[in-house]
A and B are shown apart, each in its own frame.
Chain A
Amino acid sequence: MSAATETLVDFDEALETYDPVLGFEVHVELNTKTKMFSSAPNAFGDEPNTNVNEVDLGLPGVLPVVNKAGVEYAIMIGLALNCKIAETCGFARKNYFYPDTPKNFQTSQYDDPIAYDGYIDIELEDGEVFRVEIERAHMEEDAGKLTHMGGAAGRIQGADFSLVDYNRAGVPLVEIVTKPVVGAGKRAPELAKAYVAAIREIVKNLGVSDARMERGNVRCDANVSLMPKGADKFGTRTETKNVNSLRAVDHAVRFEISRQAGVLNAGDTVTQETRHWHEDTRTTTSGRPKSDADDYRYFPEPDLVPIVTSAAWIEELRSRLPEPPAERRKRLQAEWGYADAEFRDVVNAGLMDAIEETIAAGASAAVARKWWMGEISRLAKNADVEPTELGATPATIIELNSLIEAKKINDKIARQVLEFVIAGEGTPTEIVEARGLAVVNDDSALGAAIDDAMAQMPGVVEKIKGGKLQAVGALIGPVMKATRGQADAGRVRELVLEKLGIEG
């Protein structure tokens, strides 16, 4: 059945009749130095087939050896997800033919995952907390990369041939599988997105993955089924593969709820199948019906021996775990004294770490926020890069701020100096020096400019003399102009009042 012939039911309407049940399989690529079973480099973006050795190509005679870091990262993920860690577990072969799978089997774990029975609490935007139970987290290896040539723009359908790059083959993966998530109701799409975001944040915080979804470091398969309200038996589920952005997770779940409601309302049954997500149309379409693929003939990997985890090893790994992201956020907001909205903006801008570092380097919470959320973010947006990639560092901010506090420069000039820092001209102090940007604090030079301004604007002078002190502001503009902006506005005001013999 194609998407076009399906009747979609309005999302809200669908949820008046049905309760959605979700499930997620999230694949996390680990950022170990080498692959899971070979010593070839685990690196992204290199020339094709350069990060391969005989093991990665599945050449005759080769044998795998387990990467200790891969196991430790998997255990750390398990611990961060509040899982039990298996006392003993092993690897299994999942047999299926596909040209991106060099051995035509994937080395994975089957009935004894390294981590199982965990949970994470997902906080939605309004503060409501959902507990998502984790069924298991297991280790496996990634496949190579297929590029489909000819036919329509890189699509598998209609391609004339495909090219295979095995650089990614064997990269360590941890697959995190949830138990069915029941009771999210209308918040299912939001929860789905928040869950994937939470996993991404956890693995990034652990330092075990680069966690960049656009690079495929975190990939989500989303299971959705519907059951009539009040029912206690789950409906038939579909698995939407490779939903690879947070927004897409939200949309894919939303679409499947609408689509399945349409199928059920029409009196039909939902087909248990794999579905493909299409970002362009924000729809899913049916994958090929499962034929061979459902019989993977798992059996224990004879070339690898079991892993036994001692309590000491697990405790050592537990001691390496950083503070969980949710707890860290609560703590930082309290420490910094940001309002909820302010803090949320910081988190959404991805600047929590940068601000934390800046504060640690000696800036006040307000100054750190002002710079990162203000001028740096604005310049980054113009340059179309992340604020942290712009070239401004906590040291830049500290230095700019101390120049302002010492009245060497004013805010406006500080913003100019920042631009020069980003352009690579040096530190703020060097730039102020080299470009002669220091505020004109020389009272005689300022005095001349003020005299000129007062001479040109006698009306303003009269107003000030008449007690309307705010009229001083009208004189500041011309003075600034005369000094090319390098005057300290406060000092100008003081001097004007002084010249007129008025107590400020």
Chain B
Amino acid sequence: MSAISREDVVHLARLAHIEMNDAELDKMTGELAVIVDSIAAVSEAAGDDVPATSHPIPLTNVLREDVVGKTLTPEQALANAPDADENRFKVPAILDGE
């Protein structure tokens, strides 16, 4: 496993949708490198024969009957919206409009 690079952090910040300036990227790169180093041993702890556990307590088939429950009113739904119009959530343009 390679240590985490600044370019990695730039890419990860974009994936995570967190804008970072140069100073933040530098700081984050340094901190993550230390953390990643300290946890690297995990990758060698378990062999191929060890199954992964994603849920601490194994349960299966937790299913809901197809019965309609209560809904929010549009007013409740939109009460906390940063911006709204025509009972819908309003967001800036998806694409850069030149």
- CB within 8 Å of B: which residues of A? 32-34, 38-41, 47-54, 57, 65-71, 88, 90, 97, 99, 104, 146-148, 151, 156-166, 292, 295, 297, 299-300, 302, 304-308
- Contact between A48 and B88, CB atoms less than 8 A apart: yes
Contact of B93 among A54, A161, A297, A302 (CB under 8 A): A161
- Contact status of A151 and B97, CB under 8 A, knowing A97-B17, A161-B91: yes
CA A172 to CA B89, docked complex, whole Å: 22
B59 within 8 A of A: yes
Extra pairs beyond A53-B69, A66-B63, A68-B66 (6, CB < 8 Å): A39-B68, A49-B87, A147-B88, A148-B93, A159-B93, A163-B88
Contact of A49 among B67, B78, B97 (CB under 8 A): B78
- Contact between B60 and A306, CB atoms less than 8 A apart: yes
B44 within 8 A of A: no
- Contact between B15 and A308, CB atoms less than 8 A apart: no
Contacts of B77 in A (CB 8 A): 49, 52, 57, 166
- Contact between B55 and A52, CB atoms less than 8 A apart: no
**Those 4 A-B pairs whose CB atoms lie nearest each other, nearest first:** A39-B69, A69-B66, A68-B63, A163-B88
Q: How many chain-B residues does the 8 Å CB contact rule pick out?
A: 37
Contacts of B69 in A (CB 8 A): 34, 38-40, 53
Interface centre among A49, A67, A104, A162 (most CB of B within 10 A): A49
Pairs across A and B, CB under 8 Å, 16 listed: A34-B69, A40-B69, A40-B71, A48-B88, A52-B72, A53-B71, A71-B63, A90-B54, A148-B94, A160-B93, A163-B85, A163-B89, A165-B88, A300-B54, A306-B61, A308-B61
Contacts of B88 in A (CB 8 A): 48-49, 147, 163-165
- Contact between A49 and B74, CB atoms less than 8 A apart: yes
- Tell me the smallest distance from the CB of A188 to a CB of chain B, in Å: 32
B1 within 8 A of A: no
- Contact between B86 and A302, CB atoms less than 8 A apart: no
- Contact between B89 and A302, CB atoms less than 8 A apart: no
- Contact status of A159 and B94, CB under 8 A, knowing A66-B64, A305-B60: yes
- Contact status of A53 and B93, CB under 8 A, knowing A68-B66, A163-B86, A165-B88: no
What is the predominant secondary structure among interface residues of chain A facing chain B? loop
Contacts of B68 in A (CB 8 A): 33-34, 39-41
- Contact status of A33 and B67, CB under 8 A, knowing A159-B95, A160-B97, A295-B15: yes
Contacts of B71 in A (CB 8 A): 40-41, 50-53
- Contact between B62 and A305, CB atoms less than 8 A apart: yes
B48 within 8 A of A: no
- Tell me the smallest distance from the CB of B18 to a CB of chain A, in Å: 11
CA A375 to CA B70, docked complex, whole Å: 46
CA A97 to CA B54, docked complex, whole Å: 24
Contact of B61 among A47, A99, A148, A305 (CB under 8 A): A305
CA A90 to CA B85, docked complex, whole Å: 38
- Contact status of A48 and B74, CB under 8 A, knowing A163-B85, A302-B54, A308-B60: yes
Contacts of B87 in A (CB 8 A): 47-49, 165
Contacts of A32 in B (CB 8 A): 66
